[in-house]
Amino acid sequence: EVQLVESGGGWVQTGGSLRLSCAASGFTFSNYDMHWVRQVTGNRLEWVSGTGTSGDSYYSDSVRGRFTASRDNANNSLYLQMSSLTAGDTAQYYCVRASSGTYLMDVWGKGTTVTVSS
Partner 1 sequence: DIVLTQSPDSLAVSLGERATINCKSSQTVFHFTKRKNFLSWYQHKPGQPPRLLISWASTRESGVPDRFSGSGSGTHFTLTISSLQAEDVAIYFCQQYDSTPPTFGGGTKVEIK
Give the interface with partner 1 as residue ranges (CB under 8 A).
4, 42-47, 58, 60-61, 94, 99, 102-111
Report angle CA 93, 101, 88 to the nearest 5 degrees: 25
Least distance (Å) from partner 1 to the CB of residue 22? 12
Q: Based on CB atoms, which residue is closest to partner 1, 90 or 108? A: 108
Q: Based on CB atoms, which residue is closest to partner 1, 12 or 57? A: 57
Least distance (Å) from partner 1 to the CB of residue 15? 25
Least distance (Å) from partner 1 to the CB of residue 13? 28
Q: What distance in Å separates the CA atoms of residue 7 and residue 18, rounded to the nearest whole number?
A: 11
55 in Cβ contact with 71 (< 8 Å): yes
Q: Based on CB atoms, which residue is closest to partner 1, 68 or 108? A: 108
Least distance (Å) from partner 1 to the CB of residue 48? 9
Q: What distance in Å separates the CA atoms of residue 54 and residue 111, rounded to the nearest whole number?
A: 24
Q: Based on CB atoms, which residue is closest to partner 1, 19 or 64? A: 64
CA distances from 35 to 13, 46, 57, 116 (A): 25, 11, 9, 21
Q: Is 87 helix (H, G, I), strand (E, B) or coil?
A: helix
